[in-house]
Amino acid sequence: MDFVDGFATHYNYWIVIILMMTGFYLVIARPNMVKQLVGLSLFQGSMFILYISFAYVTGGSAPIIVEGEQSYANPLPHVLILTAIVVGISTTAVGLALVVRIHQAFGTIEEDEIHDLTRED
């Protein structure tokens, strides 16, 4: 029962773990570079959810000052994650730009095929 309780009250953390491992698996196991970037984005995205999750204060509302509200969620992690999202987007953008260049240079974006091609260089 403890396990079920733990899952029910902390399901967002379980989602973080599942997303993170899915992303990580994609990055490691897929030779396709676009899929790797998808995995990387998932990996980073799970981290955003983690931050947002622990910013929540039980019973607190959104951190906008309203008359009568006593407790708010912690705004700082939200701000941090805004920054991290920008970083994540930039990373994905640079990654995709590289994939385009790699496609131009090699004619493929499959890592194993590129590996075979570069062996001849």
Partner 1 sequence: MISEHLPVLQVVVPLIAAPICILLRRDDTAWGLATLATWISFIIAGSMFVEVQSAGALSYALGSWPAPWGIQYLVDPLNAFVLLVVSGVSAVVMLFARDSILDELGRERENLFYCAYLLVFAGLLGVTITHDAFNLFVFLEISSLATYVLIAAGRDRRALVASFQYLIIGTIGATFIVLGVGFLYAMTGTLNMADLADRVRAYDTNPAIIVAYAFLVIGATIKLALFPLHLWLPNAYTFAPSMVSAFLAATATKVGFYVLMRFVFTVFGPEFSFDTLSVGLPLAILAIVGIFATSIVAIFQNDVKRMLAYSSVAQIGYMVLGMSLATTTGVAAGLIHLFNHSLIKAALFCSVGCIVYRLGSSHINSFAGAGRRMPWTMAAFCAGGVSLIGLPMTAGFISKWYIILALLERGWWPIAVLLVVSSILAVIYIWRAVEPAYFREPPADAGPVSEAPLVLLTATWILVFANIWFGIETSLNVGGAFAAAESLLSGYAP
Give contact residues for partner 1 (rule: CB under 8 A). 24, 27, 33, 36, 40, 43-44, 47, 50-51, 54, 76-77, 80, 83-84, 87, 90-91, 94-95, 98-99, 101-102, 105-106, 111, 114, 118, 121
Residue type, 26: L
- Which DSSP string do the residues of the chain spell out, in sequence order? -HHHHHHHHTHHHHHHHHHHHHHHHHHHH--BHHHHHHHHHHHHHHHHHHHHHHH--TT-B-SS--TT---B--HHHHHHHHHHHHHHHHHHHHHHHHHHHHHHHHS--BHHHHHHHHHH-
Minimum Å distance from CB 7 to partner 1?
Answer: 18
Minimum Å distance from CB 68 to partner 1?
Answer: 25
68 vs 90, beta carbon nearer partner 1: 90
Minimum Å distance from CB 47 to partner 1?
Answer: 6
Minimum Å distance from CB 117 to partner 1?
Answer: 9
CB atoms within 10 A of CB 83: 9
68 vs 101, beta carbon nearer partner 1: 101
2 vs 67, beta carbon nearer partner 1: 2
